[in-house]
Each structure stands twice: as structure tokens, then as C-alpha cells.
């Protein structure tokens, strides 16, 4: 006899609110050590795989900015939440397929994973068709990891120029995900230098295990998930 899967417990609003408080306190402390204003760092709460009820609990606790990896999942969760929460902002932070570009433009306030010419062209077309222009960040594969999305370091400047000049895109920042198990500092330093040289004001770098180091190197956005929402639900 096949056992039924254990049902996922419902989100705990109190635990989510407490997690947000802890992360925001750590962000504030990291900013103080770096001599920075905590208001200059935006927390992106990564809600991927968590249900809309978890997002709602975070919204009720004062969190406004969320990150999702998959456009389809984001489109299923966020439109119904927007009317009651006008400050809500949704970031697409996962690798984006070109055939999902129009859906991403419809649902997202920011797309952090602009990383190749075909996607730049698809986003430019989608923006023109939808009359809606989300913020765009270039994702750089700073560790040259073949399994990860992101433009190569040595191609990033030319790619950014093409985004602006050939595709007419307004790119406002840069994003990276350092290799797991490596010191992230050189990656954060490289991205900060790249952003400064290219006139990009937004630096999305740093996750649960390294966001304090990212803040020390100028991150303006940090992406944190499990420390807020708990372990991701297991697939059925």
C-alpha cells in the first residue's frame, strides 16, 4: 500500500514575522559596521515554492519586496495580493527563458536575470508590446560556473552596451550569485567595481549565508528566503 505524502503544514505568521525581524536586525547591524544607512539596503524576501499565504503573512508583517524564481509560480501568487498591498514589489531572480519574457514583463516589477542577447531582444519586444517596463538588472556569472545563468565577466561590458544601444533597454543594476563554498568577497568586489564603472546604481548580491559581507561591499539589495519563510516545502 502506497503511503500518502505528509501534508505541508500551513505557514506560521508569527514565525515569518520573527524571521523578518531577525534578518532586518542583522542588515541594520551590518550597515552600522560598514558605516552605511540601513535604508539604503532593500531586503528581497525570496518566497519561491512557498504558498501565497506565506507571502501574505510577510506582507502583514511589513515586508514589501519579494523574489521568485519561476514566472509561472509568480503569476499564480502575486496578482491577487496586489490590490490590498499597493507597496508590493515582485522581483524575478531566476534564470528566464526567452519564451517567458512577455509573462515576466507583465507580472514583475524588476527582472534581475538579464544575461544574454536573445533575452535582451525578447524583453525589449515584450516591453514595447505591453507598454510596461520593469527594472532590469544584468546577471553576471562571476564564478564562470557552467550550471549557472549569467553573462561572463569578460562579456559583461559589451553586453550592457548592447542592451542599452541596440535594444533600447534601461538597465539599472547588476546581480551575481558567487560560487557555493568559495569566499564571496572577490565576487562582490568585482560586481561593485563593474556597477560603479558602468553607472549602475543597484547592486543585488548576498543571500542568507553571505549578505553581511555583501553589504560591506556595497550591496543595495540582499536576497533571503529560508531564514524568513523556513524550509521550502517538499514537492508532492
pLDDT digits (tens, 9 = 90+) for 71-99: 999 999 999 999 999 999 999 999 999 99
Residue positions counted in the chain: 236
pLDDT in tens, 176-216: 999 999 999 999 999 999 999 999 999 999 999 999 999 99
- Per the listing, cell 503511503 goes with 3
236 pLDDT higher than 50:
no
In a domain, 108, yes or no: yes
As for how many domains the chain has, the answer is 1
5 domain residue, yes or no = no
Alpha helices in 166-217 (DSSP H): 185-198, 211-216
Task: Evaluate whether residue 234 is within a structural domain.
Answer: no
- At residue 151, what are phi and psi to the nearest 5 degrees? -75, 145
For the segment 42-67, the average pLDDT, to the nearest whole number, is 97
Whether residue 145 is contained in a domain is answered as: yes
Which three three-digit cell numbers place residue 12?
506560521
Residue 24 lies inside a defined structural domain of this protein: yes
Q: Does any domain span residue 8?
A: no
Q: How far apart are CA 201 and CA 199, in angstroms?
A: 6
In which domain, by residue range, is 168 found?
13-229
Whether 179 is in a domain gets the answer yes
Number of CB atoms found within 10 A of residue 150's CB? 22
Nearest of 77, 14, 85 to residue 50 by alpha carbon: 77
Cα-based distances in Å from 104 to 4, 54, 226: 35, 21, 24
pLDDT value for 234: 57
What's the mean pLDDT in 33-42?
97
1 within domain boundaries: no
Average pLDDT score, the chain? 94
pLDDT digit string, tens, across residues 104-157: 999 999 999 999 999 999 999 999 999 999 999 999 999 999 999 999 999 999
Residue 25 sits in a domain whose CATH number is 3.20.20.10
Amino acid at each position: 500500500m502506497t503511503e500518502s505524502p505528509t501534508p505541508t503544514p500551513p505557514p506560521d505568521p508569527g514565525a515569518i514575522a520573527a524571521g523578518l525581524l531577525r534578518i532586518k536586525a542583522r542588515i541594520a547591524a551590518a550597515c552600522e559596521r560598514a558605516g552605511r544607512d540601513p535604508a539604503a539596503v532593500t531586503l528581497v524576501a525570496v518566497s519561491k515554492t512557498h504558498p501565497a499565504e506565506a507571502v501574505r503573512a510577510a506582507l502583514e508583517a511589513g515586508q514589501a519586496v519579494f523574489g521568485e524564481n519561476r514566472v509561472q509560480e509568480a503569476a499564480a501568487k502575486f496578482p491577487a495580493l496586489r490590490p490590498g498591498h499597493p507597496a508590493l514589489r515582485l522581483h524575478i531572480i531566476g534564470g528566464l527563458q526567452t519564451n517567458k519574457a512577455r509573462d515576466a514583463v507583465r507580472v514583475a516589477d524588476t527582472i534581475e536575470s538579464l544575461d544574454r542577447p536573445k533575452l535582451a531582444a525578447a524583453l525589449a519586444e515584450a516591453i514595447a508590446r505591453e507598454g510596461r517596463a520593469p527594472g532590469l538588472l544584468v546577471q553576471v556569472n562571476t564564478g564562470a560556473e557552467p550550471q549557472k545563468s549569467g553573462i561572463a565577466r569578460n562579456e559583461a561590458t559589451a553586453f550592457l552596451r548592447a542592451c542599452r544601444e541596440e535594444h533600447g533597454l534601461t538597465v539599472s543594476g547588476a546581480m551575481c550569485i558567487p560560487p557555493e563554498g568559495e569566499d564571496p568577497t572577490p565576487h562582490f568586489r568585482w560586481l561593485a567595481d563593474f556597477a560603479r564603472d558602468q553607472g549602475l546604481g543597484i547592486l543585488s548580491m548576498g543571500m542568507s549565508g553571505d549578505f553581511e559581507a555583501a553589504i560591506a561591499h556595497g550591496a543595495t539589495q540582499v536576497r533571503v528566503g529560508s531564514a524568513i519563510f523556513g524550509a521550502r516545502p517538499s514537492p508532492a
